[in-house]
Each structure stands twice: as C-alpha cells, then as structure tokens.
Amino acid sequence: MSEHHKIAVLGGGSWATAIVKMLIENTETVGWYMRSAPAIAYIKENHHNPKYLRSAELDPKHLDLSNDINYMITNYSVLIFAIPSAFLTSELDKLNESLENKTIFSAIKGIVPETGLIVGEHFHKKYNIPLENIGVITGPCHAEEVAMERLSYLTIACQDENKAKIMADSLNSWYINTKISDDIIGTEYAAVLKNIYAIAAGIAHGLGYGDNFQAVLISNAIREMKRFIKKVHKMKRNINDSAYLGDLLVTGYSTFSRNRQFGNMIGKGYTVKSAQLEMSMIAEGYYATKSAFNIKEEKGTKTPIIDAVYNVLYAERDPKKEFKKLTNKLD
C-alpha cells in the first residue's frame, strides 16, 4: 500500500474489527479510529478488541490506533466508515479537517437517520464528495466468521474501477474473496434493505412460522428488493449476485444476524425498546425501516414486507396480526 493509498478504519465495533483484521493481512499499517481510549490501551496490550470479536487476533505492530478522528482524516487518504449509522452524524460533527480529496468507503449497511440518505449519498450531498471518490464494502460476510477465518465473500463497489480494485486487493486473502462492481447505489441499498428483511424473518421465527414460510418470505423479499432498487436507481444489475441475494440470505437465515435476533425478540413478545436494550449491538434495520418506508411512499413501490415491519416497529401494530395479513400478500 503506497503512501497515496493509506487506509484507515473508523469505528470500534465488530464489523470495524473484522475489516481491520482483513486489512492487516495485506497492509503494513492500518489506521484505526475508535472513541474509547481504554479499548485502545487494551488492544495494544492484549492484541484483541475487549468488547467485540474477541477471538480476532490483532497485532498492534500493524495498527495506528487513535481516539482522535481528525488525526485519521489528516494522516490517511482512504477512509472506511464502519460506525453505526445512528452515531455517524455525531462523529462527523467532530471534524475540523476537510474530507476534500479523500476516498470514502462505507461499510455501514445503514441509512443515516437524520437525513434519510444511504451513507454514500450522505457524503456526496452533505460533504460534496464526488461520486467517483465514494465506495461501498458489502456482501455476505459476517464479522464473526471473519474472526474464525471462514471463507467469506465481499463486493467492493465504486464508480472508479481502480479505487475499487485497490480496496479489493487490500481486503483479499486466503479466506476472503473479493469482486468489484460499479453499482454503488444499488449495492448500498441492498445492504440496507436486507437488514429490514432479516428483521421480518426474525419476527416470523419468533411468532412460530417454520422454514417453509421463511423460504417464501425470502423469495418475496428479493423480488421486493429488486423493485425498490430499480425505482431508486435504474441500471443493469443482476439481483441474484452475492452482493444482493447472497447478503440477504446470510442475514435472513444466520444465527449471527443481529437484525434477525432483534426481529425474533419482537416476535416473541418483546417491545421494541426492551429488545433494543437487551441487545449489545445496533440492529441497523430498525433505522432503515423508517427511511425505506418513506422512500417507497415517495416512489410508489409495492413493498408489503417493508410495510409490515414498519407497522410493527413504528405504528406499534400487533406482530401476530400484521404477519397474518402479510401471509396473504406473499406468493
């Protein structure tokens, strides 16, 4: 990695930790910003994150750790944001340094609640970052499996093919396969929507629906995703690629999926608030549901699954009744 392409990861959670682990395989020094000074001291001494993905070995010799976000912006040209979308605005409010001429990659898989924009669009519209300097890291890749070095697949999307390739090469290893795409809008919306569908799958499971219904739900979800993304950003894409369908499947079915866990708790009778309090990690799909519902209202897309999840989470409708109605809208 040349001086020109120095990479920093911003965020201290499980996905940020997994990305740092991937980058260490290929990069001499990885910048890593997290808010917690005690966590930084712990990583330097014990070689793993104290709170998230504790099994991932992290060699401090390859890490430039700091709890000063402006230090990272000054010293690194490629910035991977892996901060939960709910906290992104408050973190960006700390910036004194300009993001001009920086390459921004979003690994957030969420919608910024304050603006209702996907992360790439947020940086483009609020910080005037050119679209060719914005990328997305997505695909069926759970942080927990990266920690275990189980074979995983990532799609790196950027309009600038060279930037996508540099990032793909930086993340690629014997247990990470990477491919590149130019569909930054579609892949990021897919990454956001699959979290909503995972909540739906979790609610269904919590309510006692079986594997047969789950299969029908996910089959309908990929078609709903295709309709939604086509309305938002029309271009040639194969919705069955791993960045779209693959990510949906792993998030909808895996026990590692926090969005599915969140939905499962709602289905079992937890209130939204109590489910959020019990989970130690952010379920991005909660915030995404409201924004996706507003977008579909504006664009006029048929989205029965998003509607059902929205009604349960935000209109406080009874999950059992709402999903009974949903069963009649699926095929």
What are the pLDDT digits (tens) for 40-91? 998 898 888 888 878 888 888 999 999 999 999 999 999 999 998 888 999 9
For domain 3-182, give its CATH number from 3.40.30.10, 3.40.50.720, 3.30.70.1350, 3.40.640.10: 3.40.50.720
Average pLDDT over residues 232-245: 77
Q: What is the mean pLDDT of the chain?
A: 89
- Which pLDDT band, with edges at 50, 70 and 90, does 111 fall under? confident
pLDDT of the residue at 281 = 66
Six-digit token string for 244: 């779209």
pLDDT, one tens digit per residue, over 246-303 is 888 888 888 778 899 999 999 999 998 898 888 866 778 888 899 899 988 888 889 9
Using alpha carbons, list the distances in angstroms from residue 159 to 130, 132, 184, 287.
Answer: 10, 5, 7, 27
Using alpha carbons, list the distances in angstroms from residue 53 to 30, 45, 277.
Answer: 18, 16, 20
How large a percentage of the chain has pLDDT more than 90?
58
Residue 100 and residue 102: Cα distance in Å, rounded?
A: 5
pLDDT of the residue at 1 = 42
**Domain covering 186-327 in this structure, CATH number:** 1.10.1040.10
Residue 164 and residue 57: Cα distance in Å, rounded?
A: 26
Residue 140 and residue 248: Cα distance in Å, rounded?
A: 8
- The DSSP code sequence of 2-47 is -GGG-EEEE--SHHHHHHHHHHHTT-S-EEEE-S-HHHHHHHHHHS
Strand partners, 155: 138, 179
Residue pair 94/70 in contact by the 8 Å Cβ criterion:
yes
Average pLDDT over residues 120-131: 92
Residues with catalytic function: 194
Sequence-separated (6 or more) residues with CB below 8 Å from residue 84: 11, 13, 108, 110, 282, 284
pLDDT of the residue at 255 = 79
Residue 270 and residue 228: Cα distance in Å, rounded?
A: 29
Residue pair 58/49 in contact by the 8 Å Cβ criterion:
yes
**Residue-range domain boundaries for the chain:** 3-182, 186-327
End-to-end Cα separation, the chain, in angstroms? 49
Confidence (pTM): 0.89
